[in-house]
Structure 1
Amino acid sequence: MADKQDIRSQRILYSCYAHVSREGEQFIPEHVFGYILSGNQVMYVGDKTYHFKAGDFRFFKKNQLCKFIKQPPPGGEFISLSTRLDRETLWAMSEELNLHADAPYTGDGILLLEPNDLLKNYVASLKPYLNATSDIDKALTELKIKEVIMLLLQTNPELKNVLFDFAEPGKIDLEAYMNENYKYNVSISRFAYLTGRSLATFKRDFERIFHTSPNRWLQQKRLTDAHFLIKEKGWRSSDVYMEVGFKDFSHFSFAFKKAYGVSPSQV
């Protein structure tokens, strides 16, 4: 079963997967409050691994790349609920309530929140919206977004410095970032944004550091990883391509054969 989501605003997401684990990767463009109703989830961000179970409340910082595994309980479904804390709502609340970041946020990009009655009651209050058979007024959805923001500020005051920080990503060490995140299948423009650069500056800095273009470097790094996993670790080619950052198997197979002279299955 695929995602069920609030199509009225696409800001409250109800995910449900039955019987089999689901693996994938995603870019988190905006802050998210999340709750797991059933099953377990493993998330990988940079060099950190996070394990979550049913009943866990989570906070996800925006502008992150992550990989995940969603695991349903035996014979059951993985079910989670997420509320997207969009920039427009946060900006309006900042102006209305005079809420501003007053120091750099230094916490983790993913937080396991302490459970409490306020957060439990908030999740319970969303269920009628998710099960509704007719459209719900947009204003009601916006109130639920504002409500969870206020709850997060009350229960985790330190989040003010991340929720109300509207600055674009600052310029960071490009070499270190790319070596850590090259397996994510995102666009060059996304990598540029996340490293605090315009696309033109990113390409110029990249070629100065790596002495090749971003696309060529990414493909070679991914193919080298794929060859190692198939030859040395015994992975199947059908399992490797997504792991190393290719979007589809046919493109991976073509690039692999061009680089190594044989198809992945012949290694």
Structure 2
Amino acid sequence: MESTYEIIFDKLVYSCIFEMQRGTEEYYPDHFLGFQLAGETHAFYDKTTTVIKENTVVLVKKNQLIRTVKYPSKSGKYKFIAITLDSKTLQHYAFENKIEVKERYLGNQKLFFEPNEFLYSYFISLAPYINKTKKVTPRLAELKIREAIELLLDSNPDFKYILFDFAKPHFIDLEEFMNNNFMFNTTVESFAKLTGRSISAFKRDFFKVFNCPPQQWLKEKRLEEAYYLIKYKRKKPTDFYLDIGFENLSHFYSSFKQKFGETTTEVQNSTT
């Protein structure tokens, strides 16, 4: 059976698959609210793995790099609804409701939780739009997004420190961030945003820290990680090459041989 990935309206996306699927690595510039209708999502970010189980709500903070693996339930289906909470919508809501946030959220970073009765009913109420039994007008779409914001704040008032924090990303430690996120196959532009820098500032600071351009360092770092996994963890490249940032297996093999002067098999079989 074919997978389904539909944009129901511009801020609501519905996913349905019938076999395990490794999702793409994505940079999320906006917050999003998700609901796991069926199956599980395993989300990898910042060297941690979060398992989003069935009937669980997840609030993903903006400016995140995330890799996912999607697992259908025993019934054979995976279903997930994601609602984007973009800055423009949130700023408009904050202005209308006179909300001003001067502090940052200091709570648990793993923002997934059992929905209360109202949030659960909200996601169930989206079924007619997903099943195409009810047409979504722009006005109705706007109301559904505003309802999601209201229900989130009702479930946890401290979420306002997440939703209405419109400050630019912190100017964070570049070396620590890159060592924690080098395996994500994303753009230099995304890395720059995530570290609170312009592209030119990112490249300049990167060279100061690592003494080489970002793309060169990323390739070297990923190959070093691959060597470690093959030599000491006895893993096969086919099991991990995507997870350390390579898109093409043959390119990985040729790059590995070029750097280390040995094939992956020779490294794995060597005794030194």
- State TM-score, norm by structure 2: 0.90
The match for 1:157 is 157
**Amino acid of the structure 2 residue aligned with 1:38:** A
**Amino acid of the structure 1 residue aligned with 2:127:** K
Structure 1, 62-71 or 141-150: larger mean CA deviation = 62-71
Cα shift at 1:88: 1.6
Cα shift at 1:131: 0.9
5 Å-filtered alignment, 1:4-83, equals 4-9=5-10, 11-83=11-83
Q: Flag the 1:188–1:21 CA change in 2: closer, same or farther, 3 A.
A: closer
Gaps of 5+ in 1: none
Residues 101 and 162 in structure 1, CA contact (< 8 A), matched pair in contact too: no
Give the percent of matched residue pairs that are identical in Structure 1 and Structure 2.
Answer: 38
CA distance in 2: counterparts of 1:55 and 1:75, whole angstroms: 15
Gaps of 5+ in 2: 268-272
**Amino acid of the structure 1 residue aligned with 2:175:** E
CA distance in 2: counterparts of 1:57 and 1:12, whole angstroms: 15
Q: Secondary structure at the match of 2:27?
A: strand
Count of aligned pairs: 266
The match for 1:213 is 213
Structure 1, 157-166 or 245-254: larger mean CA deviation = 245-254
Cα shift at 1:21: 4.5
CA distance in 2: counterparts of 1:132 and 1:65, whole angstroms: 32
**Amino acid of the structure 1 residue aligned with 2:248:** D
5 Å-filtered alignment, 1:1-267, equals 1-9=2-10, 11-132=11-132, 136-264=136-264, 267=267
Q: Secondary structure at the match of 1:54?
A: coil
Q: Which runs of 4+ in 1 moved over 6 A?
A: none
Cα shift at 1:254: 3.1
Residues 36 and 54 in structure 1, CA contact (< 8 A), matched pair in contact too: yes
Task: Provide, for residues 124-153 of structure 1, a one-character-per-residue CA deviation record: whole Å limited to 9, x for no partner.
Answer: 110001111675212211211111001111
Q: Flag the 1:227–1:198 CA change in 2: closer, same or farther, 3 A.
A: same
CA distance in 1: counterparts of 2:7 and 2:45, whole angstroms: 27
Structure 1, 107-116 or 216-225: larger mean CA deviation = 107-116
CA distance in 2: counterparts of 1:63 and 1:229, whole angstroms: 29
Structure 1, 124-133 or 173-182: larger mean CA deviation = 124-133
- State TM-score, norm by structure 1: 0.91
Q: Secondary structure at the match of 2:170?
A: coil
What do you get for the CA RMSD once the two structures are aligned? 2.0
Q: Secondary structure at the match of 2:105?
A: coil
Q: Flag the 1:254–1:133 CA change in 2: closer, same or farther, 3 A.
A: farther
